[in-house]
Amino acid sequence: MMHISIGVSGAVLLAVVSAPVQAQTDYYNTDAGRPVLMEDAYALERRGFELQVAPLRLTRSRAGVYTWGVEPELAFGIFNRTQVEIGMPVAQVDQRAGGGLGISGVEISALHTLNVETSIPAFAIAADLLLPVGRFGPPRTYVSLKGIMTRTFPAFRVHVNAQYTLGSSVTNATGAPIGAAAQNIEVSRWVAGAAVDRALPLRSLLMTAELYARQPIVVGGSVELNTGAGVRYQLSPRWAMDAGVGRALSGDDHAWFLTGGGAYAFGLPWRAR
């Protein structure tokens, strides 16, 4: 049963920890979870769409349970400096954890860039709504609020993220069947951390690394320290690819993850009035 809880928690982790996906077209504008969790403060271009086509994520817990996830998402630059996004993570859980394929919730999010960086850093605010949809979805709706800051230096950028999830903590942690085992959610009460990235502009390549802490929303859960690193690469004007790796340095699970995917950008038709 421990395996079950670990596996399912991994599935929900896909949905929530990497959930606030703020998609952008090119390699330089980072998205949460693509490949690292910490992201920059810039919204998708106005009138632009971005489709995360096949963003794969493989998580391995310390107990050896594997969880595969695909997180198709569609983002749209709906207003000036504002994007909305909808995503529906799908998870495949290891047989040892009960096994199965299921949806890990439906996520709707919005991000608004407050300002462009000058001598003042760039700031953004974001809100996420995770709906209890699917076999591995959370037991209830969760709302998260997030603040983002981006500061650029000559050789690198720093992105500071802080997120807080509203709603009551969960006490039922383990020992339940899969459906209910989602009670053992990996929804974080809070997440805070920073990423540093460096671009190789002539190669359209971005290297990034992050360190962040998260407090699970489970009562009594200990604070986890996580790290990750990855690259983003502009394959063509429409396609940006990413790949990354990460690990929980502390906490109960010490899970590893690998991720890779591609985002396709396209625009909204327009006609002069």
Partner 1 sequence: MMRGILMRKALEKAMLMHAMLMRAMLMRGRRMGGAITRRVAPALLLAAAAQPLRAQWVTTFETFYLAAPHNWTFRNSYQSADRLFNAFDYGHAILYETLWRKPGAPAAELEVRIYDRLTKQVLVRPPSVPLEEVAIEPMYARLAPEAKAMFDWSHVLHRQIYDVLADERLDGAAKDAEVARLIAYYKTRPDLTFSSKPKSMELMQEQPYSLAFRQKYPKFNGLIWGYHWFQVGLYEPLLVGTTSEERQAGVRRTVARFWQMLTDVPRTLPHQMPMTAAIAPQFAARYPEAAIIFDNLHSMHDVVSDILTNPSVPRNRKRAEIIRAARMFRDDTSYVMPVAAWRVMSLEMGVENMGGPAVGFDVALPTPTVSYGAVMQHDRQTGRMTGMTVGTMTVDHAGMSHGTPATPAAVDHTGMNHGAPAAPSTAATVSAAVDHAGMDHGPPAPAAASVTASSIVLLQKRLLADSVIRRRVMADTSLRRMLLQQADGLGERERVELRTLLTPARP
Residue 104 one-letter amino acid: S
State both tokens at 108.
């709707």
- Residue 199 contacts partner 1 per CB under 8 A: yes
Interatomic CA distance for residues 165 and 128, integer angstroms = 9
Interatomic CA distance for residues 231 and 181, integer angstroms = 34
State both tokens at 228.
């990750």
- Residue 175 contacts partner 1 per CB under 8 A: no
First to last CA, the chain: 62
Q: Which is nearer to partner 1, 153 or 220 (CB)?
A: 153
Strand partners, 74: 51, 86
Stretch that binds partner 1, among 39-47, 53-61, 125-133, 255-263 (CB under 8 A): 39-47
Q: Residue from 168, 171, 202, 220 that binds partner 1 (CB under 8 A)?
A: 202
- Residue 62 contacts partner 1 per CB under 8 A: no
- Residue 113 contacts partner 1 per CB under 8 A: yes
- Residue 149 contacts partner 1 per CB under 8 A: no
Site string for partner 1, 206-245 (x = CB under 8 A): x---------------------------xxxxx-------
Strand partners, 194: 160, 211
Smallest distance from the beta carbon of 152 to partner 1, in angstroms? Answer: 5
Using left for φ > 0, alpha for ψ between -120 and 50, and beta otherwise, residue 111 falls in beta
Q: Which is nearer to partner 1, 30 or 215 (CB)?
A: 30
Interatomic CA distance for residues 158 and 198, integer angstroms = 9
Smallest distance from the beta carbon of 158 to partner 1, in angstroms? Answer: 12
- Residue 118 contacts partner 1 per CB under 8 A: yes
Smallest distance from the beta carbon of 269 to partner 1, in angstroms? Answer: 6
Interatomic CA distance for residues 209 and 197, integer angstroms = 6
Q: Residue from 117, 125, 245, 252 that binds partner 1 (CB under 8 A)?
A: 117
Q: Residue from 3, 60, 146, 157 that binds partner 1 (CB under 8 A)?
A: 157
Radius of gyration of the chain (CA): 18
- Residue 2 contacts partner 1 per CB under 8 A: no
65 φ/ψ angles, rounded to the nearest 5 degrees? -85, 130
Q: Which is nearer to partner 1, 220 or 271 (CB)?
A: 271
- Residue 171 contacts partner 1 per CB under 8 A: no
State both tokens at 230.
């990855």
Q: Is the CB of residue 231 less than 8 Å from the CB of residue 243?
A: yes
Size of the site for partner 1 (CB under 8 A): 44
Stretch that binds partner 1, among 11-19, 99-107, 112-120, 252-260 (CB under 8 A): 112-120
- Residue 27 contacts partner 1 per CB under 8 A: yes
Residue among 195, 172, 182, 174 at smallest CA distance from 142: 182
Residue 253 one-letter amino acid: D
Q: Is the CB of residue 56 less than 8 Å from the CB of residue 261?
A: yes
**Residues near partner 1 (CB under 8 A):** 25-28, 43, 45-49, 77, 80-81, 113-120, 152-154, 157, 199, 201-204, 206, 234-238, 265-272
